[in-house]
Structure 1
Amino acid sequence: MNAEILAVGSELLLGETVDTNSAYLARQLASIGIDLFRKSVVGDNEMRIAAAIDEALNRADLVICTGGLGPTVDDVTREAVARALQRPLVFHQHLLDQIEARFRAFGRSMPESNRRQAYVPEGARIVENPRGTAPAFIVEDARGTVVVLPGVPSEMRYLWENAILPYLRDERGETGIILVRTLHAVGLGESVIGERLADLMAQTNPTLGISAKHARYELRIGAKASSRAAAETMIAQVEAVIRERLGSHLLGDERLDQTVARMLRERGKTLALYEGAVTAPLYRALSKEALESVRGVIMHPTDIPADDDAAQSLARTGAIDVRHRWRTDIGLALQPSGLIASDGFATVCVAIAHTGGVDEWQRRFDMRSDDVWDFAGTMALDALRQHLASA
């Protein structure tokens, strides 16, 4: 079975509300082995919602709608589903009785507008909602199955876990699993990683995808199988190939900052920082746990070296100075050059002082980028990781 999710609400389109429901449902679908091919958002408009449902049924076996089941005139998902499936809305007295009882429990009388929540498309299976006034429903149509849930996250999750999930698992036989494992890599460009793993990324099951942020890479392995054990075996086989091809650039389950924190702790190393940029990229790159190993920081953003050689020299002396000043095992320094080329690029230098001497790195970055110091922090953190690995 394959599925699509349709989130309804103009507030989602306007960016006023974040659609957390779709992310939750995506994870839930994976837990029972249902492929999710698309997520969409549509505003509170009956015709557009109906069109979106109609289009989704041309592609998917299961369409899950969230939102638009309230009592106000802009809550039109019920009408849209009925239009898309060409079924009339039918009034159910017992639903109205439940809605009125919920209002009485709060010591209030039910507004007449809530009456519209007692209507569902003809032939729909009603899913009663003890957590709110909007019942959910399931429509099994010749074209596919449409599940409609309230948009309130707590109600949606309750109804999914207690009604929809059992329905899909027990009645529709969806008992498989889609398992995802995320690995982390650093020190290679996204294109290089993509070239080395191109054949794995072309597979349909298991799948492999790459995402990048600040020169740190997430490799997501997804496997669909009839059991967790079978999916884990498939993932392990792909991971073994990735490890062989990426070598030390593959960190495993840990992020770069987590890896550095663990290595500092396991080796009992202390650290001091020299920051040559006012944004303190070294301090920002370290995790809270890693900062427990930091004994001191010197900031000299006003020292602007005239060229790349001066920047590397300042990074070297800065790393040595902070190590001696705070009597730490390691001094880590980052210093940008003051020489910015006409294309906006400049050299950023990193130095690590330790008992065996000083190790140095440098790389050119686009200084016009808002993320330049995040990229520089990644370079420095990876340099520290390499040093700790060889120590």
Structure 2
Amino acid sequence: MQAEIIAIGSELLLGTTVDTNSAYLARQLARAGVELVRKSSVGDDTERIATMVSEALARADLVICTGGLGPTLDDVTREGVALAMERPLEFHQTLLDQIEARFTAMGRTMSPSNRRQAYVPTGARIVENPRGTAPAFIVEDDRGTVIVLPGVPYEMRYLFENAVMPYLRDERGITDAILVKTIHATGLGESVIGEMIADLMAQTNPSVGISAKQARYEIRITAHGASQAEAEAMLATTEATIRERLKQHVIGDEPLPATVARLLKEQQLTLALYETSTLAPIFRALSAVNGGTECISGVLIHPLDRAANEDAAAILSQTGAFGIVDRWRADLGLAFQVADTSDQSGLTAVSVTLVTPKGNRQVTRNYDLRQTEGWEFVATLGLDLIRRYLVGEAA
């Protein structure tokens, strides 16, 4: 089965509301073995909704719509879907009674406009909504199935888990499984990684893709199997191949900052930081993960009073690392120093030093520090230096 998601609401197109519903549904459909082929958004317009639903049915067996089931005049999802399915709206007194009963239970008086929520396309299967006033519904025809859910996230999630999933399993016979595994890597460029696993990226099942951010890479494996066990086996085989090819550049199942924090805690080691930018990119990266600061003994932020050339930056980086280890009696000291850039390339040399009980490690790289993202690359460089030491990689 292939599916499409249509998120309905003009607020989604204006950017005032973030569409979290589609992300949730995508994850749930994958777990159920339903292949999602497209996600889209449309405003509160009857004709446009009808067009999008009709176009989606031409491509997919299952279309899930969210939003636009409220009582106001701009809630026109019912009308749009009815138009697409060529079925007039039909009033249901039982639905209106349920809506009114909910208002009574809340100690409120139902507005006359709520009557609109008691209409669904003729012949639709009604999905009662015990969490809100907007009933959902399912419409089937020769082209496929359209499931319409409210846009309020907690209502949508409840109805999907308690009504839609049983429908897909029990009546549509969904038994497949789609599993996704993400492997984190660093230390190589995206193009290099792409070349090393090009054959895996060319296959369709399991499929493999790469996304890059801050010199860290997420390699996603997606396996579609006739059962959970089959999909797991396909994932495991592909993951093993990727790990073998990328070797020490694979961080693991978790992002780099989380890996460093976990390894420091497991090995009961403390870390001191010396950062020469008030942005403190390394401390900020560790602070963003659970337990990331528990092993930090201290942080010294000390921008240079005057510019240093690349050689001086390397010396100052090393001196800073030794100084913070001594100051806070830390097991590890990490420092970076930024050199002066006099050419027009816009790149700045950054020297990073890690002082450890087993020796010192130093590396220098060039980054564009004119934008905030450049400092995130510095964080990646420093954290990966720590990670490689903690996993026993030779200097």
Q: TM-score range by the shorter chain?
A: over 0.9
Establish whether residue 354 from structure 1 lines up as the match of residue 356 from structure 2.
yes
Q: Secondary structure at the match of 1:289?
A: coil
The equivalent position to 1:318 in structure 2, one of 314, 317, 320, is 320
The residue aligned with 1:132 is 132
Retained in 2: the 8 A contact 1:264–1:290?
no
The 1:284/1:28 distance shift into structure 2, 3 A limit, reads same
Structure-2 residue corresponding to 1:196: 196
Of 4-13 and 320-329, more deviation after overlay is shown by 320-329
2:283 counterpart residue number: 283
Question: Aligned to 2:391, what secondary structure does the other structure show?
Answer: helix
Shift of 1:254: 2.2
Residue in structure 1 matched with residue 164 of structure 2 by the alignment: 164
Contact 2:258 2:290 (8 Å CA) reproduced = no
SS in 2 for 1:291: coil
Which stretch of the first structure deviates more once superposed, 315-324 or 30-39?
A: 315-324
Q: Indicate the residue corresponding to 1:328 in structure 2.
A: 330
| Aligned residue in 2 for 1:292 | 294
The yes-or-no answer on 1:368 pairing with 2:385 is no
2:174 corresponding residue in structure 1: 174
Structure 2: segments with no counterpart, 5+ residues: none
Change (3 A) 1:207 1:304: farther
- Alpha-carbon distance change, 317 to 109 in structure 1, aligned in 2, over 3 angstroms: closer
Distance 2:143 2:266 in 1: 58
Instruction: Report the TM-score, using the length of structure 2 for normalisation.
Output: 0.95
| CA pair 356-149 structure 1, distance change in 2 beyond 3 A | closer
Partner residue, 2:48:
48
- 8 Å CA contact 1:305–1:314 kept in 2: the answer is no
Q: Structure 2 vs 1, CA of residues 89 and 356 (structure 1 numbering), >3 Å: closer, same or farther?
A: closer
**SS of 1:302's equivalent?**
coil
Shift of 1:290: 4.1
- RMSD across aligned positions (CA): 1.5
Structure 1 runs of 4+ aligned residues shifted over 6 Å read none
Shift of 1:340: 4.4
**Which of 342, 345, 359 in structure 2 is aligned with 1:343?**
345
More divergent stretch after superposition (100-109 vs 196-205): 100-109
Aligned ranges for residues 247-262 of structure 1 at < 5 Å?
A: 247-262=247-262
Native 8 Å contact 1:32 1:175 kept in 2:
yes
Instruction: Select between 27-36 and 323-332 the one with higher mean Cα deviation.
Output: 323-332
Partner Cα distance (1:117, 1:292) in 2: 52
Identity %: 62
Task: Say whether residues 1:183 and 2:187 are aligned partners.
Answer: no
What's the TM-score once normalised by structure 1's chain length? 0.96
1:86 CA drift (Å): 1.4
CA contact (8 A) 1:29 1:36 kept: yes
SS at match of 2:204: coil
Gaps of 5+ in 1: none
Residue correspondence of structure 1 range 231-250 to structure 2 within 5 A: 231-250=231-250
Say whether the 8 Å CA contact 1:304–1:337 is kept in structure 2: no
Q: CA deviation at 1:356?
A: 4.0
